[in-house]
Amino acid sequence: MHSFDKTIQKLRQEGFKLTPQRLAVIKHMIGNSRHPSALAIHKDLKRRYPSLSFSTVYNTLNMLERIEEVQSLNVIDGHLNYDPDISTHGHFLCTKCGTIHDIRFEDCDDIKLPQGEIGGHTISSIQVSFKGTCRICR
């Protein structure tokens, strides 16, 4: 995710109304490495913003994804999590503690990601996820 100011500028260009609740969601995501779900964000912010609806959180995240400020992850079956780091990287889900960790491909010698196209299909984004036991739970 870019800086708060750049993100706000992009949202304004899209005509997105910036309410205090939506601004809180945006601030919550900047630098957030926990890969939260919309439900977790709603729960975290609800205490400070009692009128915050789940719909506002979900719609704000969708808008942030549309303007390429966050990416949604389908790492946990049936749940979407969100990552403000839109660079190309993978994710590791610990099946014991449920934590999602970023995996940098430059740290993996044997992973080669395709670029450009595969079999005539143009690649616009790549999502790679791994599941197992994290170093803390091992």
Q: Kindly list the domain boundaries of the chain, sorted by start residue.
A: 4-73, 86-132
Percent of the chain's residues with pLDDT above 90:
83
User: What mean pLDDT is reported for the chain?
Assistant: 94
pLDDT of the residue at 108: 80
Q: Which tokens sit at 12?
A: 């304004």
Q: Is the pLDDT of residue 49 over 90?
A: yes
Looking at domain 86-132, its CATH class is alpha beta
pLDDT of the residue at 18: 96
User: Looking at the whole model, is its pTM more than 0.95?
Assistant: no
Which is nearest to 83 in space by CA: 115, 51, 129?
Answer: 129
The mean pLDDT value for 117-138 works out to 93
User: Which tens digits make up the pLDDT trace of 4-47?
Assistant: 999 999 999 999 999 999 999 999 999 999 999 999 999 999 99
In the block, tokens 């910036």 appear at 18
pLDDT of the residue at 79: 85
User: What's the topology of domain 4-73?
Assistant: Arc Repressor Mutant, subunit A (1.10.10)
Q: Are 24 and 78 in contact (CB under 8 A)?
A: no
- From residue 32, alpha-carbon distances to 81, 87, 100, 124, 138 in Å are 12, 14, 12, 24, 25
User: Which tens digits make up the pLDDT trace of 103-125?
Assistant: 998 878 788 888 889 999 999 88
Percent of the chain's residues with pLDDT above 70:
100
